[in-house]
Each structure stands twice: as structure tokens, then as C-alpha cells.
């Protein structure tokens, strides 16, 4: 979907649908459905600030999410997805496995194509509950 000719409200509604699809696909272990949501040269930072946790391009992103899914991660959008007058939404997430839970805020920037261009997960060790 090219988002250039739609209203801001329509863009934000589309972005909210995409992040809901993203959370559902990760939780279902559907690797290819997750990767399809990303632009070819997208960047994932999880968490932001850890230089060793940056993944650029679909190959690195696929490998990152394969690891996430191997750990049985389940994602739940834990509050309102907030839009902006730009191309980004803020998503409060609760990420859980069988052994821990993580609360984070992810900033998701979209390309004009409607695909995710940058996914930045903001969390630290104090956000993990064992």
C-alpha cells in the first residue's frame, strides 16, 4: 500500500493493523508473515542502544525473528498504539516466554510503501520479570 495519497487517519489505521498483524504473526511463530511486513533494507534494533542487537535487511531480520520464535515468544499489545503526524507509531508490548516477561515500547517507522522501515524496541534489564 502506498501511503502517499491517503489521510493521516487512514495511515495510522493501516499502521495499527500492521502492528496487530506483526504481534499475531510473532506469537503464532509465522516467520514468513513477520518478514513480509518489512522493507528490504529495514532495520530492527532490539533493544535500542545495544550495537550488537541491530539487524539490517531481510536476511538478518529473518534470522533474528527465527531466534525469537525458537524461544516461544508471545506478544501482546498492552495499551493504545499511538500515531503521529509522521510515519511512526508507538506500541506498548508485553513479550512473554515460559520463563519471563518483558515490557517494552516499540517505535515502528513505516516506508511510503506501507512496509516497516525501522523497528526500535525500547527496553532494558529492569523491564524483565522472571
Catalytic one of 15, 38, 46, 87:
46
pLDDT of residue 66: 98
Q: Which one is catalytic: 15, 22, 38, 65?
A: 22
Q: Is 40 a catalytic residue?
A: no
CATH number of 8-129: 3.10.450.50
pLDDT tens digits along 15-47 = 999 999 999 999 999 999 999 999 999 999 999
3-state secondary structure the chain: CCCCCCCHHHHHHHHHHHHHHHHHHHHHCCHHHHHCCEEEEEEEECCCCCHHHEEEHHHHHHHHHHHHHHCCCEEEECCCCECCCCCEEEEEEEEECCCCEEEEEEEEEECCCCCEEEEEEECCHHHEEC
Please state the domain extents for the chain. 8-129
Mean pLDDT of the chain: 95
Full-model pTM: 0.93
Amino acid at each position: 500500500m502506498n501511503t502517499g495519497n491517503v489521510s493521516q487517519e487512514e495511515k495510522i489505521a493501516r499502521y495499527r493493523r500492521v502492528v496487530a498483524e506483526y504481534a499475531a504473526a510473532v506469537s503464532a511463530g509465522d516467520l514468513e508473515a513477520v518478514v513480509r511486513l518489512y522493507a528490504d533494507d529495514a532495520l530492527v534494533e532490539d533493544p535500542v542502544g545495544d550495537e550488537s542487537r541491530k539487524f539490517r535487511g531481510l536476511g538478518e531480520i529473518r534470522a533474528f525473528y527465527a531466534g525469537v520464535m525458537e524461544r516461544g515468544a508471545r506478544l501482546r499489545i498492552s495499551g493504545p498504539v499511538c500515531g503521529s503526524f509522521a510515519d511512526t507509531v508507538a506500541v506498548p508490548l508485553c513479550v512473554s516466554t515460559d520463563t519471563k516477561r518483558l515490557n517494552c515500547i516499540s517505535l515502528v517507522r513505516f516506508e511510503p510503501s506501507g512496509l516497516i522501515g525501522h523497528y526500535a524496541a525500547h527496553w532494558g534489564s529492569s523491564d524483565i520479570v522472571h
